[in-house]
Structure 1
Amino acid sequence: MEIITGVERRRRWRAEEKLRVLAEAAQPGARTSEVARRHDISGGLLWYWRRQLRQGRLSVTDPREPVFLPLQVSDAVPPGPGASAGATDPRIEIALPDGTLVRVGADVDAAALRRVLSVLRR
């Protein structure tokens, strides 16, 4: 049972929950109306989720949800252009899945880095 309080009257369904309900409805012999009733949703919403899934707009990696990427921490910092081999230059290097590489100094302003990364996500 779910109790909804406050001004918000709609439930927020995570992508994993939607996919779980859709998988249940896709089982042999499952009836859409019964699955919808069991999860206290309308049959129309279930059909809408199915259309989203077919169109590729519903996946486990919902853009609004945080995504965790592998992280590698290394003490060895190769010298950058114009730096001497013995100099240590603490920096942050972020390799994005599309091959984009972002290198910033360890003293970078968090707000500036956030702006750069938000532009790259578009």
Structure 2
Amino acid sequence: MAQVTVITGAERRRMWTAEQKQALVMAACEPGASVAEVARRADLQPSQIYRWRREMSGSVSGFAAVTVTPEPQGRAEPCDVVVELGGAVVRIAAGTSPALISAVMRSLR
């Protein structure tokens, strides 16, 4: 006679709606949030949140869209580049060090 094992409990392959995925990705992107902690609370692997985030970004290359607009006349200080990202506006002067620019842009992410 063959042995049969019946496994009870929650089904491991769950279907997540787009809204649920987006909510989990946004929770993991909050300042000070831990992807591992968000994943643990949702009972999934952190790699799943990273995959959803990559799929939602719509960009494989990692570059952001840039729109160049003329600067209004009459500004007091010269500014070579203006970056608007996530509601923040960063004005970069010509002599700014690349390390400083990189640090500021990383902090805006």
TM-score (structure 2 length as normaliser): 0.43
Relative to the length of structure 1, the TM-score reads 0.40
Higher helix content, 1 or 2: 2
